[in-house]
Each structure stands twice: as structure tokens, then as C-alpha cells.
Amino acid sequence: MSVFHHNKLIGAWYYLSYDEPSERSARDTRGYGTHTASTVAGNNVKNASFYGLLQGTARGGVPSAKIAAYKVCHPLGCLENDILATFDDAITDGVDIITISVGGNAAEELFSDSIAIGSFHAMERGILTVNSAGNNGFQAGSVSSVAPWMLTVAASTIDSRVVDKVVLGNGETFLGNAVNPFMLNGEKYPLAYGKDFTSSCDESNAGLCIEECLDKDLVKGKIVLCHNNHGMVTANKAGALGSIVPFGEAYDTSFAWISWLLSPAASPSEDGLDTRPVKYSVLSGTSMSCPHAAGPAAYVKSLHPDWSASAIKSALMTTAWRMNATKNPEAEFAYGAGHIDPVKAANPGLIYDALKDDYVQMLCNLMYDNTKLRNLTGDLGSCSEATKGSPKDLNHASMAAQVGETKPFRVEFPRTVTNVGVPNSAYRATISKPSQLSISVEPSILLFKSLNEKKSFVVTVSGQGFGSLASASLVWSDGNHSVRSPIVLYTDSAFVA
């Protein structure tokens, strides 16, 4: 149901499958959709801050863009039929980019995944869908968004930190990443541990500061320690002066782990978070990095309105820069193609393009029967007439294949690139690889006479017994453009916890 429009928000819809009277509105009552929408296309806002911290001008990725909002989720969840209806409406409305910060806990089969199905139909009409990778990790196979026609986005870190300290009564000081804008002016306040201040819950739930667990008479005027960031809101409701949420060091948060095969990019949105209702808010996770990447996608689309969804995705992938390259130059399991660079993506030089028939061929190579294929594509397509091949043959900007644990292997990746840089150009191939792999490119030089000219090549990778995972990269360069593609070989053991 369309409810209103103005200069920035040109349309808003909501869906009624849950039929909750309180949710019969497109209005954002929790701030989640507002946060993601403003991240991708918010106007310039001067003097924005979070309680005086991080003060400056806030803006979305493409402030000139218009927003059409589709409220598909409610307190009870997000229904599959609502998600499909959302894609249908967005396609009919003629949007240019779809960003959807929604996903499950694990990847589903593509033919039964509503986001994969909806985004396939969007791709057919030249609309790129940008989707969150999910917030699981730190192991392989934990990405929930795996359809190759989508741009799947992980969360990364930035080099700025909001730091504060906690000083105990005995003078011991703890320094950490924390958002604390409140000046205590030298006064000391009692520090309370949530699990010790309950009369209605067990210690575990009270330690998490679960709703209704904290005794208001016991925590009032105290600073409460909670092992759950949502406990900050609960502690505040219970009358606590403030709250502290400790985060252990069990994980290396330099990377948000991401599938190397179908998850091509990362953007900055993994940092401290706060859930208090204020004019400006700080949130994190792949739900927030998703609109970070949708902004550059919209930027590239505005400059190249005739490009396919795959071409825009390719431009963002091949121009991305590797994160922490000095520590781990090839870490596609961690960050996909790399960290997106919008300016370079606008002029990538070469693109790897793929259209509906290419993806149908890939699905047939995945041994889809006609029923599964038609459930995804929505037409009467058939795999009986498809050319036999392998999923790795999809003209994707990354290359990945599974090989045996110990036996010698030889894998070929056929690819075709389109010249979108300048006419009369020559691109030379450069390979970066570990010693366990042998990689060749034939031909190793691509000569283009005109724009939109296509050239094909084959990357051949061979080796034996490299362990569970080996990654490399191919870079095509004409001296002005660098077009990088990750190459990953893996074995069954890569997915053993």
C-alpha cells in the first residue's frame, strides 16, 4: 500500500501477511529501515553527532538519489510471500537498485529462497540487488546470501575508534572501544552485575539483562554490567544510570568472514553499536554494510544506465582493493573481492557480463531439474536443451572450484570480458599465487580495437595437495585500469568446523 511521498522518499509500501493492527503502516517504528535508507541515499546533514560524539556532516552514499521504501518485516519476522511481493512491486515501480538488509541464518537452495528468486527477476530487468552476507562466522560456509546474480556484502572495520575507560573503585582502569557521551564529573557510582540483581530470573538470564529480569529497586542509580548489548535498553528501562557490555577477544574482528565464491564485496559497518533511541544512532553489522555498498552501485548505475546488473557488480568487484594485503594478500574467505572503491568502479576498464541465459546455464550445470528451474525463473525454461558444463564456467568476476584433497588436479576457467574503457587498448595478465599452484592465462594479452568489444580467455590452475584452501588472483592491466579477479581452490576439509 502506497501511503505518501515527498522530495526524498517518493513512495512507501507495507505488507499485511501477519495482519497485525499495530503494523498496518509503512512508518518505521524501530529505526532500522530509516538507518539503512539514510545510509544509501540520505541527504547531507550538518552537525550530526551521537550525543556529541563523531560530530560532522552525515550523508548517504548517493544523496541525490530518491528512495522507495518497502516495509516487509515485522516483530514476528519476514514472510516469504511478502518478500516476493516486495520484489514484484519494486520491479513494477521501476527502481534502479534494490538493497535488502534481510536474510536467514544459513544459505537456502536457490529455488526455494525468496530473496534469490525475487532478485533473479530483478536481474532480468537490469536491476542489481544488494543483499547482506549475514552475521554468522567465523567459519567457511556461513554466508546466507549466495545467489551469483546479487551483490553480497560483508561488514568490515574502519581505522577510527571511539575509546573510553572504566575506572574501578580500587583505581584499576579498563580501556576499550565504547560509546559514552555522559560526563560523570568525577563522581563515582556503584557498578552492578546484572546476574546479582534479580529476584525473578536465573543468573544466566539476569546476566544478559533479559527483559523483566532486573530488579528495578536494586539497579536504580547504578551502572549495570550486561552480557548482551540489548541489555542496555533493558537496564535503562529498569532505572540504571548506565550500562557496560563487555566483548571478549575470542575472535579476530579484523574481518567479517564472507564466502569467496558468490560474495564479492565488503563495506565499513562493523564497530561499536548503541540501541538507545536518539536523534542520530550508531548501528553495525552486515545490515548496515549492505546499504553502504548499494550507494556505490547506484552511483555506477547513474553513470552507466545501460549496464546490466552483472556489469555493475563486476565493476564493483574487479576494482575493489584488498584489505590487510600485507598480512594476508589473498583472503577471499574473509572479504570476497575486497573493499569497494566507488570512483574506480565507475571506470573499471573491463567487465565480466552475464545475463539471464548465463545464469540459467549455471543452474542447469548445478543439476537443477525443470521443476526447480521453473520455480526460480518463473517461466517454462528447460535444462534439457542446455549445454553441458560446470558451475565454475559462469562468466563471473571471481573463479572458484572444488578439488581433491591429495590427487593432482587441473581446472580451467573460461571467461569473457567486455571493453568499457578506451578503444585501441592492450591488457596484459598478471598472476599472484602461492607456490603450491601453477596458473596460466591463454591468451595473456588482450587487444581491443573498439569499445564494447569482447575477448575471451582461459585461466588454467593445476597443483596437488595444498591443504584445505588456496587463493590467488588474476589482474588485467592496460597501464590505467587494473581489473582484479580472485581465484580460489578448496577441498572438503575447508568446510569442516
Domain boundary among 187, 215, 244: 244
Sole residue written with cell 540489548: 230
CB 496 within 8 A of CB 454: no
Instruction: Give pLDDT, residue 312.
Output: 98
pLDDT exceeds 90 at position 425 = yes
Domain match, 39 and 119 both: yes
In the predicted model, what is the mean pLDDT of residues 474-490? Answer: 95
Question: In the predicted model, what is the mean pLDDT of residues 153-168?
Answer: 78
Q: Which of 104-108, 423-427, 483-487, 493-497 has the lowest mean pLDDT?
A: 493-497
The pLDDT tens digits of the residues spanning 48-80 come to 887 777 788 989 999 999 999 999 887 777 889
Question: Does residue 141 sit in the same domain as residue 176?
Answer: no
**Shared domain check, 319 and 208:** no
C-alpha cell at 53: 560524539
Nearest to 291 by CA among 73, 138, 14, 69: 69
Nearest Cα to 287, choosing from 154, 179, 159?
154
Using CA atoms, how far apart are residues 380 and 254, in angstroms rounded to an integer?
46
What pLDDT does residue 423 have? 98
Domain span including residue 456: 395-497
Omega of the bond prior to 190 within 30 degrees of 0, cis? no
Tell me if 118 is assigned to some domain: yes
The verdict on pTM exceeding 0.85 is: no
Q: What is the DSSP string of 434-445?
A: -TTEEEEEESSE
364, 153 contact by CB (below 8 A): no
Cα within 13 Å of Cα(140), Cβ side: 16
- Give the pLDDT mean for 322-337: 68
Tell me: cis bond preceding 495? Omega within 30 of 0 counts.
no
Cβ burial of 386 (10 Å; 0-12, 13-18, 19+) is: middle
One domain, residues 48 and 143: yes
Instruction: Give dist(CA 53, CA 345) in Å, integer.
Output: 32
**Quick one: 280 and 292 in the same domain?**
yes
Distance CA 259, CA 143 (A): 6
- The structural domain count of the chain equals 4
Same domain, 202 and 278: no
Final residue in a domain of this structure, among 223, 244, 265: 244
Evaluate if residue 270 carries a pLDDT over 50.
no
So what's the pLDDT on residue 378? 92
The pLDDT value given to residue 239: 86
For the chain, the first-to-last Cα distance in angstroms comes to 45
* Residue 233 confidence (pLDDT): 80
Q: Which of 370, 392, 414 is the last residue of a domain?
A: 392
Residue 471 has pLDDT above 80, yes or no: yes
Tell whether the model's pLDDT for residue 127 goes beyond 50.
Answer: yes
Residues 66 and 192 placed together within one structural domain of the fold? no
**Amino acid at the residue 23:** E
If asked whether residues 168 and 215 sit together in one domain, one would say: yes
Please give the DSSP secondary-structure letter assigned to residue 200: S
Query: In this structure, are 43 and 144 located in the same domain?
Result: yes
Q: Is residue 301 part of a domain?
A: yes
Residue 2 belongs to a domain: no
What per-residue confidence (pLDDT) applies to 181? 65
The verdict on 38 and 142 lying in the same domain is yes
The grid coordinates listed for 340 are: 569497494
pLDDT tens figures, 351-386: 999 999 999 999 999 989 999 999 999 998 888 776
Contact 204, 195 (CB under 8 A): yes
**CATH number of the CATH domain containing 208:** 3.50.30.30
> Is residue 4 in some structural domain?
no
Kindly state whether residue 211 falls inside one of the protein's structural domains: yes
Residue 229 has pLDDT above 90, yes or no: no
List Cβ<8 Å contacts ≥24 apart for 209-213.
209/234, 209/235, 209/243, 210/234
CA 145 to chain centre: 9
Average pLDDT over residues 84-108: 92
Question: Of 384, 382, 312, 377, which Cα lies nearest the Cα of 347?
Answer: 312
Res 456: pLDDT? 99
480: domain CATH number is 2.60.40.2310
One-letter amino acid at 50 equals: F
> Which among 59-68, 149-158, 216-225, 265-274 has the top mean pLDDT?
59-68
229 domain residue, yes or no: yes
Residues 47, 24, single domain; the answer is: yes
Query: pLDDT class for 461, splitting at 50, 70, 90?
Result: very high
Instruction: Give the cell for residue 290.
Output: 549492505
User: Is 410 domain-assigned?
Assistant: yes
* Domain identity same for 106 and 168: no
How many CB atoms sit inside 10 A of residue 485's CB?
Answer: 23
Q: Is residue 133 part of a domain?
A: yes
